[in-house]
Amino acid sequence: MTTLVWDKPAARSFRRILKRNPAFGADVQETLEKLAQDPFHPRLETHKLKGKLAGSWACSAGYDLRIVFDFVKSTTGETEILLIDIGTHDEVY
């Protein structure tokens, strides 16, 4: 299981999403659990990004929700997932 690390903007984005639509909380939580277990699970539709987000990855957290993240090394040398942004397709791209 991979450790998820929240970047401050990602945490803010998540709180904003929950304020607008609390029902999305369950979708995002389920997606984060799958992401921690297997970042390339078929349901997540994980893909590498191009353009200004080149080098980062994104996965689907529902119909129009996306989670943008990076794979990073921790101080112990283990791979962690740094959550960069959470929001609708238009908000994160």
User: What CATH number should be reported for the domain holding residue 48?
Assistant: 3.30.2310.20
Alpha carbon distance 69, 82 (integer Å): 5
pLDDT in tens, 5-62: 999 999 999 999 899 989 888 889 999 999 999 999 999 999 999 999 999 999 999 8
Alpha carbon distance 70, 57 (integer Å): 6
Domain that holds residue 47: 3-88
Alpha carbon distance 72, 87 (integer Å): 21
Q: Which amino acid appears at position 29 of this protein?
A: Q
Tokens 């990004």, residue located:
49
pLDDT score recorded for residue 78: 92
DSSP 50: -
Number of domains in the chain: 1
Alpha carbon distance 79, 17 (integer Å): 27
